[in-house]
Amino acid sequence: MTEKNLTVSNDQTVNREATRSEARYVTPPVDIVETDEGLLLMADVPGLDEQSLAISVDQGILTIEGKAVFGTGELLWREYSMDGYWRQFQLPETFDASKAKAEIKHGVLTLHLPKAEAAKPRKIAIETH
Protein backbone atom coordinates (compact mmCIF):
# COMPACT_ATOMS: atom_id res chain seq x y z
CA MET A 1 0.00 0.00 0.00
CA THR A 2 1.45 3.29 -0.97
CA GLU A 3 1.14 6.14 1.38
CA LYS A 4 -0.21 9.31 0.03
CA ASN A 5 1.23 12.61 1.06
CA LEU A 6 -1.47 14.99 1.98
CA THR A 7 -0.56 18.59 1.76
CA VAL A 8 -2.61 20.85 3.92
CA SER A 9 -2.51 24.48 3.01
CA ASN A 10 -2.72 26.91 5.85
CA ASP A 11 -4.25 29.72 3.95
CA GLN A 12 -5.29 32.20 6.58
CA THR A 13 -6.41 35.02 4.34
CA VAL A 14 -10.05 35.92 4.80
CA ASN A 15 -11.66 36.29 1.44
CA ARG A 16 -14.97 37.95 0.98
CA GLU A 17 -16.95 34.84 0.21
CA ALA A 18 -15.87 33.17 3.43
CA THR A 19 -17.35 35.95 5.49
CA ARG A 20 -20.74 35.54 3.88
CA SER A 21 -23.31 34.07 6.18
CA GLU A 22 -25.18 30.92 5.21
CA ALA A 23 -28.43 31.99 6.77
CA ARG A 24 -31.08 34.05 5.02
CA TYR A 25 -30.70 37.74 5.57
CA VAL A 26 -32.18 41.07 4.64
CA THR A 27 -30.08 43.69 2.84
CA PRO A 28 -30.77 47.08 4.43
CA PRO A 29 -30.91 50.06 2.05
CA VAL A 30 -28.15 52.62 2.56
CA ASP A 31 -27.31 56.16 1.60
CA ILE A 32 -23.61 56.93 1.20
CA VAL A 33 -22.40 60.51 0.90
CA GLU A 34 -18.80 61.63 0.65
CA THR A 35 -17.69 65.02 1.90
CA ASP A 36 -14.30 66.58 2.46
CA GLU A 37 -14.30 65.22 5.98
CA GLY A 38 -15.06 61.66 5.10
CA LEU A 39 -17.87 59.28 4.44
CA LEU A 40 -21.36 59.38 5.86
CA LEU A 41 -23.30 56.14 5.69
CA MET A 42 -26.95 55.83 6.72
CA ALA A 43 -28.67 52.44 6.85
CA ASP A 44 -32.29 51.61 7.56
CA VAL A 45 -32.31 48.89 10.17
CA PRO A 46 -35.70 49.13 11.91
CA GLY A 47 -35.90 47.06 15.06
CA LEU A 48 -32.20 47.34 15.94
CA ASP A 49 -30.73 49.35 18.80
CA GLU A 50 -27.24 49.80 20.26
CA GLN A 51 -27.18 46.30 21.71
CA SER A 52 -28.45 44.34 18.75
CA LEU A 53 -26.47 46.12 16.03
CA ALA A 54 -22.92 44.96 15.30
CA ILE A 55 -20.53 46.91 13.10
CA SER A 56 -17.07 45.61 12.38
CA VAL A 57 -14.21 46.28 10.01
CA ASP A 58 -11.91 43.46 9.03
CA GLN A 59 -9.20 43.87 6.40
CA GLY A 60 -10.95 46.71 4.71
CA ILE A 61 -14.40 45.11 4.73
CA LEU A 62 -17.10 46.85 6.71
CA THR A 63 -19.87 44.58 7.98
CA ILE A 64 -23.19 45.76 9.34
CA GLU A 65 -25.35 43.12 10.95
CA GLY A 66 -28.00 42.58 13.57
CA LYS A 67 -31.18 40.67 14.30
CA ALA A 68 -34.35 42.45 15.28
CA VAL A 69 -37.01 41.02 17.55
CA PHE A 70 -40.57 41.09 16.34
CA GLY A 71 -43.86 40.45 18.07
CA THR A 72 -45.70 37.23 18.66
CA GLY A 73 -48.89 36.04 17.12
CA GLU A 74 -49.96 34.14 14.05
CA LEU A 75 -48.88 35.82 10.81
CA LEU A 76 -51.77 36.84 8.59
CA TRP A 77 -49.93 39.00 6.09
CA ARG A 78 -46.19 39.30 5.56
CA GLU A 79 -44.54 42.04 3.51
CA TYR A 80 -41.09 41.94 4.98
CA SER A 81 -39.02 39.06 6.20
CA MET A 82 -37.87 38.84 9.77
CA ASP A 83 -34.41 37.49 9.05
CA GLY A 84 -31.43 39.40 10.36
CA TYR A 85 -29.86 42.36 8.61
CA TRP A 86 -26.49 41.87 6.96
CA ARG A 87 -24.51 43.93 4.52
CA GLN A 88 -20.86 44.35 3.64
CA PHE A 89 -18.89 47.10 1.96
CA GLN A 90 -15.35 47.27 0.72
CA LEU A 91 -13.63 50.28 2.27
CA PRO A 92 -10.89 51.97 0.32
CA GLU A 93 -7.66 52.73 2.15
CA THR A 94 -8.43 56.43 2.18
CA PHE A 95 -10.76 56.03 5.15
CA ASP A 96 -9.64 55.61 8.71
CA ALA A 97 -11.80 52.89 10.25
CA SER A 98 -10.29 53.31 13.71
CA LYS A 99 -11.80 56.79 14.01
CA ALA A 100 -15.28 55.75 12.90
CA LYS A 101 -18.27 56.95 14.89
CA ALA A 102 -21.64 55.26 14.79
CA GLU A 103 -25.00 56.16 16.25
CA ILE A 104 -28.42 54.63 15.88
CA LYS A 105 -31.71 56.40 16.31
CA HIS A 106 -35.26 55.38 15.34
CA GLY A 107 -33.89 52.36 13.54
CA VAL A 108 -31.48 54.33 11.35
CA LEU A 109 -27.74 53.76 11.64
CA THR A 110 -25.52 56.76 10.93
CA LEU A 111 -21.85 55.99 10.49
CA HIS A 112 -19.19 58.68 10.13
CA LEU A 113 -15.95 57.50 8.57
CA PRO A 114 -13.30 60.19 8.52
CA LYS A 115 -10.75 60.28 5.78
CA ALA A 116 -7.27 59.27 6.74
CA GLU A 117 -5.08 62.32 7.19
CA ALA A 118 -2.96 61.52 4.21
CA ALA A 119 -5.95 61.42 1.90
CA LYS A 120 -7.47 64.80 2.70
CA PRO A 121 -7.16 67.39 -0.01
CA ARG A 122 -4.39 69.72 0.93
CA LYS A 123 -3.40 73.05 -0.38
CA ILE A 124 0.24 73.34 -1.22
CA ALA A 125 1.65 76.77 -0.58
CA ILE A 126 3.84 78.22 -3.26
CA GLU A 127 6.92 79.88 -1.95
CA THR A 128 8.01 83.03 -3.56
CA HIS A 129 11.65 83.83 -3.92
Partner 1 sequence: MRNWDLLREMSQMQRDIDTVFRGFGLGRLLGSGFEAELGLRDWPRINLREDADHIYVEALLPGVDPDKIDMNVLGNTLTLAGERNAVDSEKNGRTWHRRERGAGKFLRTIELPVEINPDQVKAEYKNGLLRVTLPKVEEAKPKRISIQLR
- Closest separation between CB of residue 95 and partner 1, Å? 12
Please pick, from the candidates 16, 20, 46, 93, the single residue that binds partner 1 as defined by CB under 8 A.
46
Identify the CA nearest to 107 among candidates 56, 58, 68, 49.
49
- Closest separation between CB of residue 59 and partner 1, Å? 21
Contact of 55 with 114, CB cutoff 8 Å: no
Strands 38-44 and 108-114: antiparallel
Three-state DSSP class for 51?
Answer: coil
State whether the Cα torsion 39-40-43-49 is positive or negative.
Answer: positive
- Kindly write out the interface string for residues 58-97 of this chain, putting x where it contacts partner 1 by CB under 8 A and - elsewhere: ----------x-xxxxxxxxxxxxxx--------------
The residue type of 84 is G
Distance CA 64, CA 19 (A): 12
- Closest separation between CB of residue 83 and partner 1, Å? 6
Nearer to partner 1, 12 or 90 (CB): 90
Per CB under 8 A, contacts with partner 1 among 14-43 are: 24-36, 39-40, 42
Site of interaction with partner 1 (CB under 8 A)? 24-36, 39-40, 42, 44-49, 68, 70-83, 104, 106-108
